[in-house]
Structure 1
Amino acid sequence: MALLGIDLGTIGCKALLFDNKGNQLAKAYREYAMITGHGGLAELDSAGVMEDVKAVIREAAAEAGSDGIEALSVSSMGEAFVPVTRNREILGNSILGFDSRGNEYLEEVRSFISDEKLYEVNGNPIGANYGLTKFLWIAREDSEVYDKTDYFLMWSSFVLFMLGGRPVCDYSLANRSLLFNVESCSWNVDLAGKLDFDAAKLPELVPTGTVVGKLDTLISEDLGIQGQPLLVAGSHDQCANALGCGVLDEGTAMYGMGTFHCIVIPFEKRPGAELMLPRGLNTEHHAVPGRYVTFVYNQGGILLKWFRDTFMMEKHELGIVKGEINIYEDLMDEMPAGPSPVLVYPNFSVTGPPEFLEKTTGMISGLTLATTRGDIAKGVLEGVAYYLKENVENLPEELSVDGFRVVGGGSRSEAWVKLLADVFNRPFTRTEENEAGALGAAIIAGVGSGRFKDFREGAASMVRLADTVEPDAVNAAALENNYRRYKTIQPQFGDFLAEHLDSQEK
């Protein structure tokens, strides 16, 4: 019987069926629109997205035909949640992590707990992107919804609950609320109480891989699924991505090439706050027991999309008309063989670690009348890589990265992966299945159902490595020279870029 992995993100959801060897049997995808509005509002239509989730399950199940589904699990974005009643009534839209509502409560949170103490307890720096400030906003600004809410459920938990499971939350997603104690694996009831938030509205905590129920009979019939597959507690999408490419232990990191580029670094022993906080590094439970992870990230594929829409839209639209919707290979062919003569500072929006800069802009340096479109495009890709390389170089000694497993849509481009290997001067290994989040969720489902005795056996059975791209010594040395110049941009121009953004906003 097949294992179903559901991967749910900010702009779309997908469902993939796999056999226990990691062979993809079926795939379905739906995209949905984010709701934005005045005052920094950013939401998802909770009920609408749940219907999209059912649609991709239905489509994948139909494509798989007579193969039954043994179990399913869900990998989802962190921070965002849905308010529900115990009778599975959806009470409102899902507030996303980058929604501005709740930012006003940050100082109140800090009045009760310091950044250092919160890191000791929760493993995260205090920030408005986590669930806590959004919980507080609902409690204080939307009392009708708050009073009716029995559970605030993170998206993986919400999907399983709506399919018939118990209301639970796995450790990795609970961590994204700021109210989770990473050591005791319990809710921080004391902090919640000080903030007048009812911790009873938070669900039961369980490890990833826990069976939380069976698919509801009526829903199973509606989705065209025979029997009642087990519902298994999932994880934060980045943890599932790491599991889905076999990144379980120290030394190897996952490099995810999606809308954002995210590096997931596993480790066994937590470094202290004095090492992690200055670097903007978090700590959360891996999907794999006995392991933690931290994330380094910034804009990635979204910058290449910006380039396409700005410099190649006519060609892109022509490609869609002709049925050739991917123009990125043509773009790669335009890029110079060596390092770009153009240096791009990739701060086109709010940045990731270590500084999480809001007052900044991107910058392109080195433009001349001889500059080509390919020069700029490659400068963009190099700038993205330089940003993350600087973070990796500054990791505490306790967190080692000797090589990378690379996944995501961008990993299909051999030229792009080769550039990363040269910039980081480390090997990058691709996997046969680049939908690592869904594969990770399927592995979790297999562990929960008993198909695999543990996550290590599941990964060994379902993750298959493809090729390893080694760095080229000559290219790596040339890129290192550009990287050294890149590192001088923020010290020299940081204030100017912030002032320039202010002038644009005025």
Structure 2
Amino acid sequence: MSVIGLDIGTSSSKGILLSDQGQVIGKSYREYAISSKFETHLELNPNQVWKAIISILNELASLEKKQNIKAISISAMGDTVTPFDHQLVPLYNSLLAFDTRSTPESISLSEKLGEKWIFETTGMPIHPTYSACKILWLKHHHPRLFYKTDKFLCYEDYISAQLGSDYAISYSSAARTLFFDLHQKTWNKKILAECSVKEDQLSRPCPSGTPIGHLSKKVSKETTLLEKTQIICGGHDQPCGAIGMGVITEGSALDTTGTIEVILVPFFQPHLNETMFNAKICCYSHCYPNTYCSFSQVLTAGAAYQWFKDNFFPMSPNQENYSQESIYHAIEVNMPHHPKSLYFVPYLSGSGNPTMNPNAKGVFYGLTLKTKINDLARAVLEGITYEMRINLELMESISNISIPKIKSVGGASRSNFWLQLKADITGKTILSSKNVEAGCLGAAILAGIGTGIFTTFEEGIDAVNRNIEYHEFSPNREMNNVYNEKYHEYQMLNKTVSQLFSFI
């Protein structure tokens, strides 16, 4: 028996076929384009995403006997929202999470409902990233379209409904809309009313791993999968990835480094204290039962390294067929073996937690006539990792729980140099596995739980993780001592230059 786990992202979707023994039978990947008319407007055509999903399902279906594929579940990006008519036809493109056109609407919601009340009710710090703010923008700028809308859907519940399920959404994805009451596990009527949204315009919230329907006859014909294939409630991509990597207990953490870097930490009780509120850190339902999670972000992690490579190490024509991994390896091989008095503040698109300052700018400090390009390269990775440590220490202080080991996935997990640097700067042991699709694995585990292939979450997680080869990076004591001093210098520099951001 096998199941399919899908992971829907901003520029691509992925899928895996997972056996009942936790082994990945096959993978599939499709890209699509983001459209951007203005700097603050980031949109996605939902029809292109659906086309990619059908293509992925066809490829995965060809790898296994159809009667053996029992269920499908979805890990999906959060916050993104799309208005649909009663026939599930999109009335407007999807407004992506990092689309910030709804900043005035987020300010308005904050003023009317109270920033602190919103946080204590939903676990979310008010920000234009959330679906509610984007829906308000549609109401203000496209009122006729707004009042024609039958459903406002995120990608988890949209793709599930297209496959044939009921309109259902996981607690974790529901939380990313800003409409969801963290404590009652229901849509909050006060926030809905403020946005002129009716409860039946949203999907039914339910726990991850819950059966929500079967494949429709239409999709069965398009994919050759059987109609009896179950659809299981999935989750938001961050906690779904944590399920895939087995990050479900207090004292564990998942570090995902892509364009941005996200550090997710599970809790058994929701933490909604003053420190979290001031640091603008969210708290919401994990995909694991009766558990919560928080995550903090470094907004330009992989993006900062990519920017440095593109501008300081442009590829020559004879390098065009090189892999990204080999290009980065060539850069890292020539880096100095020890840190220098050179610092990089990686705020190339504003700062992440704990300040979340959109006016923050990137800074190189400590340049001299002797500075070499490879010194800058090391400083870039160090700066990103100092920010990781700031957020990690913040998470530990919020929960009063020590985190001795961190599981790492994403682009950074392919760089041994960066992984060792993370261990040396944070003083934590880093466990990494290359080429692991954490979101897909988490979704597949949920599919297995919902259809009964796995009787418990632990059984599914253990089955998957037995087949993952982890590489351990322990902190070098000497380097950690050096970096402790450098880290405090970085904090002082950060505090000093932050005073300039309102003037630049």
* TM-score, normalising length: structure 2: 0.94
Residue 503 (structure 1) aligns with: none
Task: Tell me if the contact between 2:66 and 2:225 (Cα under 8 Å) persists in the aligned partners.
Answer: no
The one of 496, 499, 505 equivalent to 2:500 is 496
What CA deviation, in whole Å up to 9, does each residue of 1:52-74 have, x standing for no partner?
Answer: 12112222322457783211111
* In the alignment, structure 1 residue 362 sits paired with structure 2 residue 362: yes
CA separation in 2, counterparts of 1:111 and 1:239? 30
Q: What does 1:29-108 align with in structure 2 at a 5 Å threshold?
A: 29-38=29-38, 40-64=40-64, 68-108=68-108
Task: Tell me if the contact between 1:171 and 1:207 (Cα under 8 Å) persists in the aligned partners.
Answer: yes
CA separation in 2, counterparts of 1:219 and 1:126? 38
Structure 2 residues without counterparts, runs of 5 or longer: none
Aligned CA distance change for structure 1 residues 158 and 311 (closer, same or farther; 3 Å) = same
The secondary structure found in structure 2 opposite 1:169 is strand
* In the alignment, structure 1 residue 415 sits paired with structure 2 residue 393: no
Task: Tell me if the contact between 1:446 and 1:452 (Cα under 8 Å) persists in the aligned partners.
Answer: yes
Residue 157 (structure 1) aligns with: 157
The secondary structure found in structure 1 opposite 2:359 is coil
Cα RMSD (Å) of the superposition? 2.0
Task: Tell me if the contact between 2:414 and 2:434 (Cα under 8 Å) persists in the aligned partners.
Answer: no
Aligned CA distance change for structure 1 residues 389 and 322 (closer, same or farther; 3 Å) = closer
What CA deviation, in whole Å up to 9, does each residue of 1:273-293 have, x standing for no partner?
Answer: 323212222101000011100
The secondary structure found in structure 2 opposite 1:496 is coil
Task: Tell me if the contact between 1:220 and 1:228 (Cα under 8 Å) persists in the aligned partners.
Answer: no
Structure 1 residues without counterparts, runs of 5 or longer: 501-506
Task: Tell me if the contact between 2:413 and 2:433 (Cα under 8 Å) persists in the aligned partners.
Answer: no
* In the alignment, structure 1 residue 301 sits paired with structure 2 residue 305: no
CA separation in 1, counterparts of 2:327 and 2:364? 23
Residue 470 (structure 2) aligns with: 466
Aligned CA distance change for structure 1 residues 104 and 483 (closer, same or farther; 3 Å) = same
The one of 404, 407, 424 equivalent to 2:406 is 404
Question: Which residue identity is paired with 1:245?
Answer: M
Task: Tell me if the contact between 1:122 and 1:180 (Cα under 8 Å) persists in the aligned partners.
Answer: yes
CA separation in 2, counterparts of 1:407 and 1:127? 26
* In the alignment, structure 1 residue 188 sits paired with structure 2 residue 192: no
What CA deviation, in whole Å up to 9, does each residue of 1:471-499 have, x standing for no partner?
Answer: 11011111122111110123211132442
CA separation in 1, counterparts of 2:265 and 2:442? 16
Aligned CA distance change for structure 1 residues 56 and 369 (closer, same or farther; 3 Å) = farther
CA separation in 2, counterparts of 1:465 and 1:253? 18
Residue 246 (structure 1) aligns with: 246
Out of 284-293 and 345-354, give the one that drifted further: 345-354
What CA deviation, in whole Å up to 9, does each residue of 1:136-190 have, x standing for no partner?
Answer: 1122322332223221111111111111111111111111111100111000112
Question: Which residue identity is paired with 2:422?
Answer: L
CA separation in 2, counterparts of 1:237 and 1:295? 12
What CA deviation, in whole Å up to 9, does each residue of 1:246-290 have, x standing for no partner?
Answer: 100000100112111110000011223323212222101000011
Question: Which residue identity is paired with 1:440?
Answer: G
Q: What does 1:124-203 align with in structure 2 at a 5 Å threshold?
A: 124-203=124-203
Work out the number of aligned pairs and report it: 499
Aligned CA distance change for structure 1 residues 285 and 184 (closer, same or farther; 3 Å) = same
Residue 213 (structure 2) aligns with: 213
CA separation in 1, counterparts of 2:322 and 2:276? 50
Q: What is the deviation of 1:356?
A: 0.5
Q: What is the deviation of 1:417?
A: 0.9
Q: What is the deviation of 1:375?
A: 1.7
Residue 484 (structure 1) aligns with: 488
Residue 436 (structure 2) aligns with: 434
Q: Percent identity?
A: 29
* In the alignment, structure 1 residue 280 sits paired with structure 2 residue 265: no
The secondary structure found in structure 2 opposite 1:358 is coil
Aligned CA distance change for structure 1 residues 66 and 300 (closer, same or farther; 3 Å) = same
The secondary structure found in structure 2 opposite 1:328 is helix
Residue 504 (structure 1) aligns with: none
CA separation in 2, counterparts of 1:448 and 1:129? 30
Task: Tell me if the contact between 2:257 and 2:301 (Cα under 8 Å) persists in the aligned partners.
Answer: yes
* In the alignment, structure 1 residue 233 sits paired with structure 2 residue 233: yes
* In the alignment, structure 1 residue 121 sits paired with structure 2 residue 125: no
CA separation in 1, counterparts of 2:464 and 2:344? 38
